[in-house]
Amino acid sequence: MNTSQHTRISRQHRRTLRWIIAITTITLVFDGYDLVVYGTVVPEFLRDPSQIGHLSVAQAGALGSYALMGVMVGALSAGAVGDHIGRRRIMIAGIVWFSVAMGLSSFATSITAFGVLRFLTGIGVGALVATAAAMVAEFAPPNRRNVYNAIVYSGVPVGGVLAAVMALLTSGGDSWRTLFLFGAAPLVVLLPVTLLRLPESPKWLLARGHTERARALSSRTGIALGESARTTGAEKVGFAALASRRYALPTVLLGLMSCSGLLLTYALNTWLPEIMGQSGFGKSYSLVFLLALNGGAVIGGVLASRAADRTGPQRVITSTFVLAAFSLMLLTLGLPLGALLALVAVAGIGTIGTQVLVYGFVANYYDTHARAAGVAWCAGFGRLGGIGGPLVGGALVSAGVSPHRAFFAFAGVAVLGALVTLFVPRQSQSTEEDAGTDLVTGRSPSEAARVLACESSR
């Protein structure tokens, strides 16, 4: 397959891809909104017991982790059934579940009710996060998958920016209820579009033996089916495939890689306003740091994904983890506000932006029969780190640990993430028509052969 074949797609494919990218991106914008909006209301909950009850710092950290426990349950549940029932059904169910739970959270009057609803919201978030990467991997052209995946998952930090902006525009009293009620908007504005415009994956249909439906949908959407084979009873599907000899070790390492990225993502989004507040910055400035963190992730994540398409995501992810470690350590130097904001933006690239790349790496690492399970494992097991993030941050804050030491602890997690990434084995997806791309070099076999021939002729 030559490079032009990799690059050129039909008009039908392009139109279908635009709808898929738009729908999945907006979905993850609201997921990111949910991720950050809790961090914006934590200071208000701590100061005003009349909202949901008297809340200690440790309890605030636990409340932050409940949604992440739900995300883990939702992601793993989606992975358990996603490779069996399809991507579209999971996306639709996730949007409904998430929106309803988010809206109900705005009416909570006790810590218990709020915690239960945060857990239920997380289930919907987990299903959506775990499925979006599988959708992108099966609809996007191979040489642009990392860029499209970064666009979609950049919806998460965009949602974080949206949450921080809305928190700046509303303050005091019951304004937090408005913030949570806004999170139910997908039920009204996104679900109808999804029902009309989001197709099932033709590659998934073919892999599950629905050949005629796959061909009909391929003709209508312009998605090439290629050589994907039907999944037989002898071929392991979903989580069973992850335990096979081919995927067992990589699955463990990819899970640890995601765990590191999500610990940093959730710890910083939950506790950065409070940590910077303890450093002498008021509420408005503290929320500006959240804007810088997520804004840096949006811009940096897309730029890094372009590099990932050229050189392979594994190298880029290792580099961004290292970048996060250095930026977090430099935050301890007591620099001027402008420099601190710049470093927080760089930390956003190395934490939230890195997690964007991780999802793309994982989605393209697995074949169709294991893709939803692989991404779900990454999102679900990784949430152990996400659950630990608010808890670790809460423990550090409640113990009176200085912001400097907290940043050093987070930098250590980033270093661990870089080391784990280095040991993930190379994997070529030779079983699919558009695969065979080495996930470290980023080249297809034909491209690698041309490079080798050119080097040999020198």
Where do the domains of the chain lie, and which CATH numbers do they carry? 10-457 (1.20.1250.20)
Tell whether the model's pLDDT for residue 439 goes beyond 80: no
d(CA 150, CA 64): 25
Return the C-alpha torsion angle 415, 418, 423, 429, nearest 10: 160
More confident call, 450 vs 168: 168
Nearest to 157 by CA among 373, 324, 356, 7: 356
Q: What are phi and psi of 6, to 5 degrees?
A: -65, -35
- The total of other beta-carbon atoms located within 10 Å of residue 53's CB is 15
Tell whether the model's pLDDT for residue 119 goes beyond 90: yes
Write the pLDDT tens digit of every residue in 49-84: 887 888 888 788 788 778 878 888 888 888 778 777
Identity at 205, one-letter amino acid code: L
As to burial, measured by CB atoms within 10 angstroms (0-12 exposed, 13-18 middle, 19+ buried), residue 139 is buried
Write the pLDDT tens digit of every residue in 155-184: 887 888 888 888 888 766 678 888 999 999
pLDDT, position 282: 67
Q: What are phi and psi of 428, to 5 degrees?
A: -110, 130
As to burial, measured by CB atoms within 10 angstroms (0-12 exposed, 13-18 middle, 19+ buried), residue 334 is exposed
Strand, coil or helix: 438: strand
pLDDT, position 173: 63
pLDDT, position 4: 39
For residue 91, what pLDDT band results from cuts at 50, 70 and 90?
very high
d(CA 297, CA 348): 5
d(CA 187, CA 441): 41
Most confident of 155-169, 197-211, 242-256, 407-421: 407-421
Nearest to 136 by CA among 116, 151, 115, 156: 151
d(CA 368, CA 430): 12
Return the C-alpha torsion angle 257, 258, 259, 264, nearest 10: 100
pLDDT, position 448: 42
Average pLDDT over residues 345-371: 84
- Average of per-residue pLDDT values in the chain: 80
d(CA 77, CA 377): 10
d(CA 408, CA 418): 16
d(CA 416, CA 129): 23
Nearest to 234 by CA among 407, 134, 353, 369: 369
For residue 441, what pLDDT band results from cuts at 50, 70 and 90?
very low
Among positive and negative, which fits the CA dihedral 339, 342, 347, 350?
negative
Please give the model's pTM, rounded to 2 decimal places.
Answer: 0.71
pLDDT, position 172: 63
Write the pLDDT tens digit of every residue in 283-333: 667 678 878 888 888 888 888 888 888 888 889 999 999 999 999 888 888
Fill in the DSSP letter of residue 331.
G
Tell whether the model's pLDDT for residue 238 goes beyond 90: no
CB 315 within 8 A of CB 178: no
